[in-house]
Structure formats: structure tokens, C-alpha cells
């Protein structure tokens, strides 16, 4: 019998089924209140706008082009719209600085491929987006903990990377309403990161998947915007901004984008030619059609809906969680991150929670590159209504309070 493992490349050894994605398959049960999936609420998709967009494109003279091969850079009118959109958040660029991907997940894969040789180091948050770790893992990197408090010197990152057999190549982070913590990096920490990037001479990958979903507080300029302001032009920057239409319009179309210095964009275009030629032409066209007509109204709609759910979750946590748990208070996005007392295990709690309370969430351990911090969990408020959130958190609080008592006994 052929043992496939014998002939797979070494890079495949770190490709494992994600517990979370496996888990999500099981939790799609109607009797369960789920705070597990970090997905947008389908009731908020601009479905009518998409229906009209497809219909208009197919009856018009664009029908042939919509079904044809297209350029690897991405649909020009969509890139032109993005140039205008980026200008509103302080990112001055041209269409040469924008590359359309099949979701921002593809951007993470390509950036891993572009920068990481086996043994190189990627600096990531502790915790960080699991999908980023999965994308980078294929390129056999080491991970080091990106800390923005300024208490680690560039030399210490460099020395650790050399010891691991490579060089530091990039720092990856979600600066706004991160998955999984919901936290936002303040302006001073963004500036420290840019200084670290300059000292280490590495790329900074800014994952902006949730950036438009702010419910309150002052917007902090994107890292790329701060760097353009410092250095005078996007061509002098090291930040690569990864955006997505998944959380704002709809994820099923798989349209995301990268904004950055033209030499990097040109390499990414070559990678796309080799990988899948281009993202779906028709989907890029409908995204352009819908974005140009409905984007501000759609953003206002989802901010109002998710903001109310965020409020409901924070209120319920304050009412029902036992005293020795703590949680983040996100100003946007889809997630709240809960820290349980030391010694508790999120995965074990999930098993009991699904069984007895019919409430699901994601254990936090999977989001740490070293699988530490078992006493954490991620709650998503994007897909449950306010009543479900109150009921679900009440049940979860009850379960956690019981477990805390048992732990103390
Ligand atoms: C932080 C973050 N980045 C990137 C992605 C990938 O999104 P997409 O490929 O749909 O743009 C997600 C999806 O959940 C995410 O949470």
C-alpha cells in the first residue's frame, strides 16, 4: 500500500485539519446557540443589489467580458473604486498599487510564499488569526511573538530568528478589531511597529479584514496610512494592507485585495498568473457594481446591526459571568475574547457546554502559535440576535461559574 506521507513534501507536514473548522461543521445544529463561527450574518448581505448587478451585467454588452479570462491584477474599475476608497482612510495610491485576490486569505498565502523561506521567522500576535497561521505554515516558518509594548529589542527578534535558522521577514497583525480578540492597536503602538519594521528591515502585513466595522470610538489611521504620512509616498512604504469584501458585502464571492508598493504588487501578480490566472471576472464585476452604488449604505446597515449585538453581548457578559473571568470590550468587528481563571480549559468547557447548555464557542488555544493559553475562548456576536445572545451568555455564565466553583473545591 502506498504511504502518501512518504512522498509528500515536507511543507505538507504542518497542514493539519483545523480543529475549529472541523468543529464548526458539527455545530451547525438548530438547537445550539452558536458564538463559534466568525462569519457574517447572511440576512445582512445586500442580496437585491447583487441580483440586480448580475442581471445588468448579463443583459448589457459586458456579458462576454464577464465570462472571459481577465487580467491577473484584477478588474480595473474595481481597482479604480478602491483607489478612491483608500484615499478616504489616508492611503494615497494608484491602481498600480492594488491587486485583487480571491479573498484576503489568498493574499496571506501569497505573502507567505513571497517572503518566507523554510526556517525564516514570521512575527505574529499571541493570539492571532488562525487562518494566517494556516496560510504561513505551508512555507515552513518559525513564529515569534510580536509585542508592541516596546519591551523587546529588534536585536532580540533577530537573534531568535538566527537561532531558528533564518531571518525575520515580516510582522503580521490585524490592527482593528482583531480576530480573535476584538482588540484595536492604538496609534502609538502602530508607530512603534513601523519603527520596528524599519529597524529589522521587514515587511509589515496589515490585515484589515474588519477595519470598516467600527461601532464606536475614534478611527485610528491604518498602519499603511501612517507610514505614507511618514515617508511621503506609498512607494517608500513596507506595509502591505490586506483588505476584503467578505465582511462588508459577502464572503462567498471571494473578493479581497492588497494595497502596497508597486514592486510587491508586481510580484504578487506573477504569483497569481502561476496559481489561478485571476480572481473570478464576473464576481469582481458585481462587487464593483455593488460597491460603487451601495457601499456607504451597506456599511451603515451592518454597523448598526452588529453594534447592537456587540452591546448585547457585553451587557450579558457583565450580568452573567463570574467575578474571576475577564473579557475584551471591542469597538468593532465580530469577536469578544474571554479569559477564564488559570487552570480552566476552553476545549473541555466547550465539550460540556455543547452537551449540557447547548452553547458553542471556539476554545482560544488554537489561536496561539505555541498552543498555549488553554484558559481562553472566542465568542462571536455576528450571527445571533440580541435575545439569543442574552440567553446563550446566561447559560455559558452558569456553566463557567459552576466550573470555577468545582476548580476551587
Ligand atoms: C483576520 C482575518 N483575516 C482574513 C480573513 C479571510 O477573509 P477572506 O478570505 O474571506 O477575505 C478572515 C476571515 O475570517 C479573518 O478573520
Note the pLDDT tens digit of each residue in 360-390. Answer: 999 999 899 888 889 999 999 999 999 999 9
Retrieve residue 387's grid coordinates.
435575545
Instruction: Please report which helix (H) or strand (E) contains residue 335, including its range.
Output: strand 335-339
Q: What is the mean pLDDT of residues 299-315?
A: 98
CA of 209 to the centre of ligand 1 (A): 6
Atom of ligand 1 nearest to the CA of 254: 10
Quickly count helices (H) and strands (E) in the chain: 14, 13
Asked if residue 20 has pLDDT above 90, the reply is no
**Among 209, 243, 259, 284, which is best to mutate for testing ligand 1, by the most ligand atoms less than 8 A from CB?**
209
What pLDDT is stored for residue 193 in this prediction?
97
Q: Are 102 and 280 in contact (CB under 8 A)?
A: yes
Instruction: Please give the helix or strand (H or E) that residue 101 lies within, else none.
Output: strand 98-101
Model confidence band, residue 37 (pLDDT cutoffs 50, 70, 90):
confident
- 330 C-beta closer than 6 A to ligand 1: no
Q: 182 in ligand 1 pocket by Cβ < 6 Å?
A: no
Angle between helices 187-200 and 223-231 (to 10 degrees): 60
pLDDT given for residue 21 in this prediction: 64
| pLDDT, position 397 | 96
- Name the grid cell of 353: 457546554
List CB contacts of 141: < 8 A, sequence separation 6 or more: 112, 116, 118, 119, 120, 121, 122, 166, 169
The residue written with cell numbers 502561476 in the block is 274
Q: Is 180 in the pocket of ligand 1 (CB under 6 A)?
A: no
Share of the chain above pLDDT 70, in %: 98
Check pLDDT > 80 for residue 26.
no
Task: Verify whether ligand 1 is closer than 6 Å to residue 220 (CB atom).
Answer: no
Ligand 1 atom 12, closest CA: 209
Report the pLDDT averaged over residues 382-402. Answer: 96
In the chain, % of residues over pLDDT 90: 87
Q: Is the pLDDT of residue 104 over 90?
A: yes
Pocket test for ligand 1, best of 38, 131, 306 (most atoms within 8 A of CB): 131
What is the overall mean pLDDT for the chain?
A: 95
Amino acid at each position: 500500500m502506498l504511504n502518501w506521507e512518504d512522498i509528500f513534501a515536507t511543507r505538507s507536514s504542518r497542514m493539519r485539519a483545523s480543529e475549529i473548522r472541523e468543529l464548526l461543521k458539527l455545530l451547525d445544529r438548530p438547537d445550539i446557540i452558536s458564538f463559534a463561527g466568525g462569519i457574517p450574518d447572511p440576512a445582512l448581505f445586500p442580496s437585491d443589489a447583487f441580483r440586480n448587478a448580475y442581471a445588468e451585467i448579463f443583459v448589457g454588452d459586458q456579458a462576454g467580458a464577464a465570462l472571459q479570462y481577465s487580467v491577473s491584477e484584477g478588474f480595473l474599475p474595481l481597482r479604480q473604486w478602491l483607489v478612491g476608497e483608500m484615499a478616504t482612510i489616508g492611503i494615497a495610491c494608484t491602481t498600480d498599487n492594488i491587486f485583487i485576490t480571491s479573498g484576503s486569505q489568498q493574499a496571506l498565502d501569497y505573502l507567505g510564499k513571497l517572503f518566507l523561506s523554510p526556517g525564516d521567522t514570521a512575527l505574529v500576535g499571541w493570539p492571532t488569526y488562525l487562518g494566517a497561521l494556516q496560510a504561513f505554515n505551508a512555507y515552513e516558518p518559525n513564529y515569534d511573538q510580536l509585542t508592541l509594548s516596546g519591551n523587546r529589542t529588534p536585536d532580540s527578534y533577530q537573534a531568535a530568528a538566527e537561532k531558528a535558522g533564518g531571518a525575520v521577514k515580516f510582522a503580521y497583525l490585524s490592527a482593528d478589531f482583531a480576530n480573535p480578540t476584538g482588540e484595536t492597536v492604538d496609534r502609538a503602538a502602530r508607530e512603534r511597529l513601523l519603527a520596528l519594521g524599519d529597524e529589522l528591515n521587514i515587511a509589515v502585513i496589515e490585515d484589515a479584514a474588519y477595519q470598516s466595522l467600527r461601532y464606536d470610538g475614534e478611527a485610528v489611521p491604518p498602519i499603511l496610512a501612517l507610514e505614507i504620512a511618514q515617508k511621503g509616498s506609498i512607494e517608500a512604504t513596507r506595509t502591505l494592507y490586506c483588505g476584503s469584501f467578505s465582511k462588508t458585502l459577502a464572503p462567498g464571492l471571494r473578493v479581497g485585495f492588497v494595497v502596497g508598493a508597486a514592486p510587491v504588487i508586481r510580484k504578487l501578480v506573477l504569483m497569481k498568473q502561476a496559481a489561478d490566472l485571476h480572481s473570478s471576472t464576473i464576481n469582481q464585476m458585481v462587487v464593483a457594481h455593488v460597491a460603487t452604488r451601495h457601499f456607504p449604505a451597506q456599511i451603515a446597515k451592518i454597523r448598526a446591526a452588529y453594534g447592537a449585538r456587540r452591546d448585547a453581548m457585553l451587557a450579558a457578559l457583565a450580568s452573567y459571568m463570574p467575578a474571576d473571568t475577564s473579557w475584551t470590550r471591542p469597538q468593532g468587528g465580530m469577536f469578544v475574547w474571554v479569559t477564564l481563571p488559570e487552570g480552566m480549559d476552553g476545549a473541555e468547557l466547550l465539550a460540556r457546554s455543547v452537551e449540557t447548555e447547548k452553547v458553542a464557542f471556539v476554545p482560544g488555544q488554537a489561536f496561539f502559535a505555541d498552543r498555549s493559553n488553554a484558559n481562553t475562548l472566542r465568542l462571536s456576536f455576528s450571527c445571533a440576535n440580541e435575545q439569543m445572545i442574552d440567553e446563550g451568555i446566561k447559560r455559558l455564565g452558569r456553566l463557567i461559574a459552576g466550573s470555577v466553583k468545582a476548580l476551587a473545591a
